[in-house]
Structure 1
Amino acid sequence: MYKKAALSKGFIYLILILGSFLMLLPFIWMLSTSLKTSGEVTAMPPVWIPDDPKWENYQDAWAIAPFLRYTMNSLIVTVLSTLGEVLTTILAAYAFSRINFWGRDVVFAVLLGTMMVPGEVLLIPNYVTLANLGWINQYEALIVPWLASIFSIFLLRQFFLGIPKELSYAAKIDGCRDFRFLWTIMVPLAKPAIITIVLLKAIGSWNAFLWPLIVTQSKEMRTLPVGLTSFSTEAGTVYELLMAASTMIILPMIILYLVLQKYIIEGVAKAGIKG
């Protein structure tokens, strides 16, 4: 019996190790390619370890386009859109979980239904709306449409539902109003879920490509993912510099994820799937 359990556990670990390796393989290839020469990039069979790593590829990649400006744009968009989404999420999640108003559950069900609408369907309507507002090629176009997320509201609402109602009853007896109760009690208790939302939003905003590509027209407004197109021209793609730039772009999000990953598991686990 013990031997059978050990074999089963060993098999599970083997599957997890293989899965982890497959997940890491693209990142390993990206890092390897970023240190290659142009000849090694196209060599067959593929070269996994460069003979003479070209660390200067990173310097060349940074200098080939105004990546300092792209970095500032990405930081501005990521920080402001993340702060905006967290604020709207906290307020909406509290309303849908703690405040009884007419049609609350119906409105929430309708909002959840919008999650089934593909984002690509909304590209043209959103673009037309922003064009009419004169926001194309402005920070407003990169930030305002992403200041709310139904998924984030759903996640935090589920977490709020798990907080005992007796806390709110006791707070009201002590004269604590809803707004103060939200920020002094609910928000600190929901820290894991909020950090999860912040992390997912920051990664998504930092890596966004399609929407910034559509609504920006000048180099001064481009974000980092859009800036990667500088390495692809009609003459071809400089893959070693493209991979070097990609490594620099993705590194901050990897570090952020590794530092905060425990909060994702804790936040999602405690949120549950309550109705």
Structure 2
Amino acid sequence: MAHKKILILTILTFLIVLSGCNSKQGGDNVSESKEESKQTVSLEKVEGVWEGSINVPNQPLPITVKFIKEDGKISIPIQGLNNHPLTNITLNDKNITFNMPLPGQKITFVGKLADEKITGTFTQQGQSFPFELTKSDDVAKDEQLEEITVHGGKMTAQLKIPEEEGPFPLMIIIAGSGPTDRDGNSLLMVGKNNSLKMLAEELSKEGIASIRYDKRGVGQNIALASKEEDLKFDHYIEDAIAWADFAKEDKRFSEIGFIGHSEGSLVGMVAAQKVGADLFISLAAQGDQSMRF
């Protein structure tokens, strides 16, 4: 089955590059895409952001699909694909289908909607693999979204503030490696643990505000995805610093600290030093295995 994984990743990479080259050209491909788009129906029932993966053997391929009114887009961060248009979207009761248009290819998703999930089959070049999407959680009533400008565009974060009167100490929560979102959930793992979400909730109970955000290329900040060779560790540090700078200018907050989990701990400890944070907490950080006590 490993050769199938290599095949589909290779095909997607090649076709995405090819699609970018052809996007500037007119002709039949453009006309065909426009004709397919006309067939899209109202997507009110599934409107929103859906996250999940194409379950290629041994290595799931994380994807994000966004439905808005009569439009749909797909992002595949590993492939450097961001907001690629979907066509021929149909929604009939609980059955949904959509195509991913690439020159000379027919790539289809055929799924079924149930319990805030879409499960089905992804097909390309005669190869089929199961896929699963889960609708992203809405922002809780006691939370709000904030947006700042970072390298490459805009970044969104979720702010949770205690019910009491402020100002409040604020902790900036940074997730670990891979496609891990602001709540601590990863597309590469089955189910949701919501570890960072629960951490924010407990902090709020103790009178501490928190900011947690999806890393660039993940969830709400999928638009900040870039090619792997262009993504630097410093970008993650700069993002964390940007949120600290935002908080410093906000009178709702007094002290500012960082909580970093795993890779996020490495990001947080550097950011904390650079901004002169009042507190830094490291969760399950990397360590030197050669050290013995």
TM-score by shorter chain over 0.5: no
Superposition TM-score, scaled by structure 2 size: 0.19
1 or 2 for the larger relative contact order (CA 8 Å, sep ≥6)? Answer: 1
Query: Rg bigger for which structure?
Result: 1
- Higher strand content, 1 or 2: 2
- Higher helix content, 1 or 2: 1
Superposition TM-score, scaled by structure 1 size: 0.20
